[in-house]
Structure 1
Amino acid sequence: MSAVPTEQSAAVLRATAGVVAEHAEQISAVFYRRLLSTHPRVAPMFSRSGQASGAQQRALAAALVAFTEHLLGEPRRPFDAVVRRIAHRHASLGVAPEQYPLVGRQLLAAVAEVLGDAVTPRVHDAWDEAYWLFATALVAEEARAYQRMGTDPARPWRPWRVTARTVATPEVVSFDLLPTGLDPLPTFRPGQYVTVAVDLPDGGRQARPYSLSRAPGSGSLRITVRRVPAVGTAPQGVVSAYLHEQVKVGDVLDVSPPAGDVTLTPGTDPLVLVSAGIGITPMIAMMGHTARLRPQRTVVAAHADRSPEHHPLRAEMLEIGALLRDFQLHTRYEPHSPVQIDVDALPLPDGARVYLCGPLPFMRDVRAGLLRRGLSPDHIRYEIFGPDPWAGNPT
């Protein structure tokens, strides 16, 4: 991504980036309040639980800071991956280019509300330019994503029928899905997700992404959903609770086409798949695809969980592993959070491609350990459920 601000704007951004970064979370909170009160029709695109816990505000703040660093030539990491991740998420929700002006107005208004008189016309114009550079990059990437998905952003949802419902653990349920009409089953790459939108009993509508937990070619799509409990002041996950409590075989769900760019790398390089909790779902799809097409490929799987009984899809992982010629499984069970993996004991075959999926602290620790062991950052990819507050500081 080659976004470059004007020289005048760059000077203003450099002079004000520190104070904006210092107040980024407060700006984000004000932005969401303003946006959702002024434009309530966009509320289904934003997670209620993410708003309540502050995760969504922290994610926007991290992206804002990271993009400013990128513009000023001072990035702590390449920003292209952040743009792709956000764009895929937006494409799965049907975000359209015409929504960016209203977002921009509310974001700049939030900056002015929080920083007050410090936002002079020159400061406003510089940050407006920065926003539109960011928006333009997202719109372009979203257009490519829509094209690959074969999706009209005005109609991102299709009706899918639940053909099977399988309890995986006391808190995890899998749902098999098929299109209700004549639409063909979409192709997808292992590691991608679909977004499910539900109409809640209170009249609201919410959407959540769920990794596809079975390899392509099985004749249906499958998602595996962990019920998100209430923790502290954060409420329970409203969509996961709805799916667990209300959805049965024969019901119809609104589902977007497969999206996401953290997908299995073709080739013969060894794979190291590291997961915790429900983060196992994309790993199962990657393992299944590898077992069917390249069973000779070395696969190391490492999973952390509370117990074998809480390990989702454990039996399926072992069954797929038996089809691979060179497979190692490493598990670590701890009854209390946070769950961890001993990175120093993890086998790392030469040239390994590593995939991470699990809670953010877990992935941070694993990634940092892999980097200490000398693995190239380019060989480590990660998937995140929900907002991405890691965008600006992955280590």
Structure 2
Amino acid sequence: MSTDTPNVFALPDVGEGLTEAEIVSWHVAVGDEVGVNDPLVDIETAKSIVELPSPFAGRVEALLVEEGQTVRVGTPIVQIGGGAPAEASEAPTTEKREVLVGYGPSVSRRRTRNRPRNGSPAPSVRVLAKPPVRKLAKDLGIDLAKVPARGDAVTRAEVEEFARMLSGAGTTAAPVTGVRRATAEAMIASVAVPQATEWVTVDVSASVELVERLRADRRFDGVKVTTTLLTARAVCLALGRTPDLHARWNDSTIEHPASVGLGIAAATERGLVVPVVREAERLSLADLGHAIDDLVATARAARIQPDQMSGGTFTLTNVGVFGVDGGTPILPPGQSGILALGRVARRPWVVDEEVVPRWVTTLAVTFDHRVADGEQASRFLADVATILEHPAMALAF
């Protein structure tokens, strides 16, 4: 039932104990008609960009917070009049848009914009760009409409290139917000943990051959089969024999999780994010591949949700995709282990007393020395290396 009393929507806690968020971009303007669960605004938390749907139906009367502003949870952000709040009894429709849990089912979009009054300027055309790119442009004080785009949408690289051009190829400064700030704070917290790193260089030629065979297997259609996927599976198997590598230090106790929450470090336009594959050890290789592909794609589209990055117990990061041989990974907060996979490259290798070319990589594991010792870390690393060198050994785990 409709009401004449305006509805005020306050910034909600979308999970993970959110205290504040930045308004990245509004999907509506004053005068728009919105329905329940219509996309309303993109906000940036410390972990992701989240699209908030409207909990009310009616006409947008006022946008109470401007794009680029950071506000605390509970702050009114928009006023909607002439409608009613979402009802729990509404039935879902076939709309496929992901919505914020708790705001009701998705309904078809039905926005109508008031015609401008006589003498009013026509609404400006929104430049096509992803929310993180629009946010970067806003932070740098750049009008996206002036940025030359090589494709259909303006990219982050094009905004940065335009910023350098405006500054005469000098330095540019951007505020530290969102994921970058959260990453910095997490790394500062991480160095307080007594951590150590071990390395091993391994012949992964058999894994490279297996990757090629699996890519030709119909059961892996649609799966991105790589050495990263095989390493993810090897990590899950190895953790079954050395569970302390994904336990958690909690002052007076060490907590052992019931399953593996495998974090997959993903580089995005907004910075590094780590979506989590829950109960990863229970998945088949193909299902694990699908899960990783879906999460990474969602993260790179800036649509990863806070709950998709929680529950991690061990993290895998592939630094080899950037062409480097290896690295010293830093523990994510709350985790006791992280494995870095280096570049897989052809190198001379001794086989049966002869030097032959083989596919070789370097693995590095960093662990919390309060939870595990060098022996456990070494056994874990040796197990992962064994599986990658001799994939058939996975049957013995």
Instruction: Return the structure number with greater strand share.
Output: 2
| TM-score, normalised relative to structure 1 | 0.26
| TM-score, normalised relative to structure 2 | 0.26
Name the structure, 1 or 2, with higher relative contact order (CA <8 Å, separation 6+): 1
Instruction: Return the structure number with greater helix share.
Output: 1
